[in-house]
Amino acid sequence: MPKNDNMLAILWMLNSGRKITAKQISEKLEINIRTVYRYMDALCASGVPIISDPGHNGGYSLLSQFIRAPLLFDMDEKKALLHAATFAKEAGSPMSEALDNVAAKLRMYSNQEQEHTLSRHLAGFEVINRVGPASVQPVLAELEQAVAGEFAVEIDYRTGREEQPKTRVIDPYGMVYWNNKWYTVGFCHLKKEIRCFRADRILAIRRTQMGFKRAEAFSAREFFMQNLLPDPAGTEKLISVMITGRAEALDDLCLNWYLGHYLKERTSGQAVFVLEEQAMLSYVPGVLLSYGKSVQVLGPQSLKDKLTAIASDLLEYYQL
């Protein structure tokens, strides 16, 4: 086993609370006894409180306070970690290889019964997600380092409206995973404001020597959600959209990432949303048309007129 794995295995042996000799460790791990001594010195140097008792009944042990520290995971904690690793890997986490190592170690340091239990729980647990482009992995890895190290990066970024990418320098404050895509939230030196950037639209990323200091109270998640779903409070013109239809269709509509945020009232046969007029006429029609005749707009008339116009255009287009 690699050095780190051997040292972790020694910690697990010591954590049992019983004294263990260097000879027992060397036999258990199949390593030279001198190597055991070197590992013990390294563990002590890193702050692990190892007690060494000489003599016939001597051996190595840990301070009792250290033994009671949460170094070991119970079965529920192990299952939770493996489930979380499954979600993170499927989401395209830049730490996928490290997650595989974590899962392997959790199984390695479990007894046969525990390993069988973990395998049974994981066998029926799967996550399906849309697979992103492979090119986004190194971008995510660089962004994660930049966020943690608080250094700016230069990116070649192409928006959805542009054919050619533009070079920008950004201070990445955080990373957000939403709706099967990764984003970074940070200060754009070009626009002089905080913006959101889709990771899959970053064509190239380069480290810079410029550092930054992120405000402790800043939340990338909160900024992203506010940018995505602004609070309608304070908007001058808000319109109530009343929709009726089949219960299951209304339920699904209320779970829509956008409309659900602006849901005002839900009864057995009706849902009421409060929206800004421009958003109502630009985004909502496309959502409602996908439900066909399972939902019906009761008002306002402007939305009904918009739906009629779109349906007429589609009819004319497909009759050509």
Find where tokens 């040292």 sit: 7
In 3D, which of 285, 260, 283 has the Cα closest to residue 273? 260
What kind of fold does domain 238-319 have according to CATH? Alpha-Beta Plaits (3.30.70)
Find where tokens 């029926």 sit: 124
**Count of residues in the chain:** 320
Q: What DSSP designation does 216 have?
A: T
Q: What local confidence, expressed as pLDDT, does residue 143 receive?
A: 96
pLDDT in tens, 186-235: 999 999 999 999 999 999 999 999 999 999 999 999 999 998 888 776 55
Contact, 297 vs 243, CB < 8 A?
A: yes
Indicate the range of 34-48, 62-76, 196-210, 271-285 predicted with least confidence: 62-76
Indicate the range of 32-46, 101-115, 235-249, 273-287 predicted with least confidence: 101-115
Q: What is the mean pLDDT of residues 271-285?
A: 92
Q: If one looks up domain 3-67 in CATH, what number appears?
A: 1.10.10.10
Q: 71 vs 28, 48, 77, 84, 207, CA distance in Å?
A: 21, 12, 12, 19, 36
Q: Of the spans 10-24, 86-100, 162-176, which averages the highest pLDDT?
A: 162-176
Which residue stretches of the chain are H helix?
Answer: 3-14, 22-29, 33-45, 64-67, 75-90, 96-108, 112-123, 136-149, 220-228, 247-254, 277-282, 284-289, 301-319
Confidence (pTM): 0.69
Q: Taking the chain, what is the end-to-end CA distance rounded to the nearest angstrom?
A: 69
Domain ranges of the chain: 3-67, 75-123, 136-228, 238-319
What kind of fold does domain 136-228 have according to CATH? SH3 type barrels. (2.30.30)
Q: 155 vs 62, 162, 187, 307, CA distance in Å?
A: 49, 15, 13, 40
Report which residue type is found at 73. Answer: F
Contact, 283 vs 233, CB < 8 A?
A: no
Q: What is the mean pLDDT of residues 287-310?
A: 95
